[in-house]
Structure 1
Amino acid sequence: MSTPRGTRPPTGATPVQGRPADGAGRPTSRTLRVRRVVALVLLAVIVVGVVMLVKAAIAFGTGLLADEPQGKVAPPPPQAVATGGYKKCEVKDLTLGLTVSKASYADGENPSFSLTLTHVGRRPCFVDSSPASLELVVTSGQDRIWSSVDCPPAKKVLLMAPGDAYPQTVDWARVRSAAECPADLPAPGAGDYSAVVASTEVAGLTSAPVVFTLLAPPPPPVETPPVTEAPVDGAVPPVDGAVPPAEGDPAATGETAPADGTAPADGAVPPADGATP
């Protein structure tokens, strides 16, 4: 019996159901190289991301630790500040205010100034807050009268956190000063003066000027001579040391007593002794 034409199975091995033919579905070498490159790139991206996340976490933690003091801890010495990573304050971190206690001062009254150093930055920083670095200058016109840095005290390094304010008072003894503190300088006189404070450590940090007046001493009192009574018309002022006449004495009435045997001035004859008038 012959097999119908078109239905005879092909010669050779018959493929098994579900199994690909030899070489079918196997990745080529080029595909394998591309996959390896993609895997390496993904691994590098993951490593870089992890490193960046670690650095960001460290920076965030450092910022929290830097913001923690808020002015509630004692400022460390300058060496500890430098090793701790704190920076020096800049002009954008600080403001400096100045006020004067009165508009005018009487003779012998010393002017008093109030300085306020305020931190307005975002991170703690350190600054010298002593009069050696916060220079208060008193002038009269173009004449430089006095400066707090001519005879400065010791430095005072201050660690300031955001929002901190440091007020201090500076008194001026109404004297002149110059570099190296020379003695016997002439005292400033009465008149109008102005004062301003500026930092010698932070460039550009200065206050607005204030104006005040030193009053002149009051004039000495005028001595007036003692008041004396004017003499009575016709009366002769007594000689120094003379005793004034008593009441009833003829000299007190301006009349002269008649001498013995002399008739009175009005022509009357006095009665004789024993005679009846």
Structure 2
Amino acid sequence: MAEKQVRSTRPSPKVYRRRRLAALIAGLLVIVLLVWAGIAIASSLRPKEAAEKPTQTTAPSDAPAAPESSGPVAEPSNGPAGCLEGDISVSATTVQATHGPSENPVLVMTIKNDGQFECSVNVGTSQQEFTVMSGSDRIFSTSDCLADPSDIDITMKPGGSESARFTWERVRSAPGCKVVNAKPRPGWYGFTAKLGNITSQKNGFELK
């Protein structure tokens, strides 16, 4: 009786390698799925407040606000500003209107601050001038023989005034302090006072 041939069921090396490769791929897929699942779970467990909290870019409500400017900022000053020409007025008067033969006229210059602010003005002799006229004839001026002129700055309040006096000895003068022998005659004369570029109106007085 012939022997029955039994076929071997052991897989071939080629099939064995395929099965190992398939098992390795399946294992890698399982690992990837586990990692993805872990990330998803961690994201779902993260506190909602931390994820949604915006970055703070505005200043706190109790922070001091910057001051608002309503106009030009005043610069520090070392003293009152100089008076403007339109703020200062000058007037000319005499102590009396009529003078006897032995009386010398006292000429008065009054300086007034007509402006709205306190200011400083130079009232020194370098700025003062007392002038006496007879019609168009220039009889006398303190600027003709002025010696050692001085500068004196004073502060004047709004509405404030200052006065300077000069006694005219009834003599004539000429520019450069030239000697004039003629004497003023009795009659009416006009006196004007000047401070810097500001000139008063003429004030009349009489010599007997």
Normalising to structure 1: TM-score of the pair?
Answer: 0.47
On the 8 A contact 1:177/1:185 being kept in 2, the answer is: no
CA distance 1:161–1:109, shift in 2 (3 Å): closer
Give 1:148-187 correspondences, 5 Å limit: 148-153=142-147, 154-163=149-158, 164-187=160-183
Match of 1:66 in 2: none
Point out where structure 2 has 5 or more consecutive residues left out of the alignment.
1-39
Q: CA deviation at 1:91?
A: 1.8
| Code of the aligned partner of 1:185 | N
Q: CA deviation at 1:114?
A: 1.8
Q: CA deviation at 1:26?
A: 5.5
Match of 1:133 in 2: 127
| Cα displacement string for residues 155-191 of structure 1 (whole angstroms, at most 9, x for unaligned residues) | 1403223154322221111111111111133112222
| Cα displacement string for residues 189-247 of structure 1 (whole angstroms, at most 9, x for unaligned residues) | 222211111112xx3x22222111223xxxxxxxxxxxxxxxxxxxxxxxxxxxxxxxx
Match of 1:208 in 2: 201
Give 1:1-277 correspondences, 5 Å limit: 19-20=47-48, 25=52, 27=54, 36=57, 49=67, 59=75, 62=76, 84=78, 86-121=80-115, 122-130=117-125, 132-153=126-147, 154-163=149-158, 164-200=160-196, 203=197, 205-215=198-208
Q: Which has the higher strand share?
A: 2
Match of 1:262 in 2: none
CA distance 1:170–1:22, shift in 2 (3 Å): closer
Point out where structure 1 has 5 or more consecutive residues left out of the alignment.
1-11, 64-83, 216-277
| Cα displacement string for residues 238-274 of structure 1 (whole angstroms, at most 9, x for unaligned residues) | xxxxxxxxxxxxxxxxxxxxxxxxxxxxxxxxxxxxx
Normalising to structure 2: TM-score of the pair?
Answer: 0.60
SS in structure 1 of the partner of residue 199 of structure 2 = coil
On the 8 A contact 2:173/2:180 being kept in 1, the answer is: no
| Code of the aligned partner of 2:155 | M
| Code of the aligned partner of 2:67 | G
Q: How many residues align?
A: 162
On the 8 A contact 1:124/1:160 being kept in 2, the answer is: yes
Match of 1:265 in 2: none
Identity of aligned residues (%): 22
